[in-house]
Amino acid sequence: MFHFAQHDKHRLVASTTMKHRQLRVNELVKRELSAIIAREINFEGVLVSVNAVDVTPDLKSAHVFVSILGPAAGASVIDKLEAHRTALQAELSRHVVLKYTPHLVFHLDDSIERGARVLEILRDLEKSSGEDE
């Protein structure tokens, strides 16, 4: 029984270490990709921000969540990133050494926009409850 408990403890430590490693890889790819995008791609008056990167455990693909601030449509920004995907991956491979260079998959992250809308609704509710009193 004691041997089994030691094995479970080791597996728990290994799992925690893997999660920690995964978080470090995600943050490293996010930081480098943000810098590469800022340096290499011009979005004409639009601020494009990489909010999060989720690299799969096998390191073969990375889901990149970007938000935009400005007049451009989100789809056009994603299309432009997709058009530059191979160049971004090549540049990323020069800056980040991993077993594999992940295949980048871009997603529009509208969480900031949704958060702003929730705050707007809360302010409207406060105003209407203040008027009722």
Each residue's pLDDT, cut to its tens digit, for the chain (133 residues) gives 444 444 444 444 445 666 888 899 999 999 999 999 999 888 888 888 999 999 999 989 999 999 888 777 778 889 999 999 999 999 999 988 888 889 999 999 887 778 888 888 998 888 887 666 5
Q: Bridge-partner residues for 65, per DSSP?
A: 52, 107
**Domain 2-132, CATH:** 3.30.300.20
Q: Which pTM value belongs to this model?
A: 0.72
Contact yes or no for 105/64 (Cβ under 8 A) = yes
- What does the DSSP assignment read for the chain? -HHHHHHHHHHHHHHHHHHHHHHHHHHHHHHHHHHHHHHH---SS-EEEEEEEEE-TTSSEEEEEEEEESSS-HHHHHHHHHHTHHHHHHHHHHH---SSPPEEEEEE--HHHHHHHHHHHHHHHHHHHHHH-
Q: In the chain, what are the domain boundaries?
A: 2-132
pLDDT of residue 131: 67
Q: Which two tokens stand for residue 64?
A: 């990149």
pLDDT of residue 104: 94
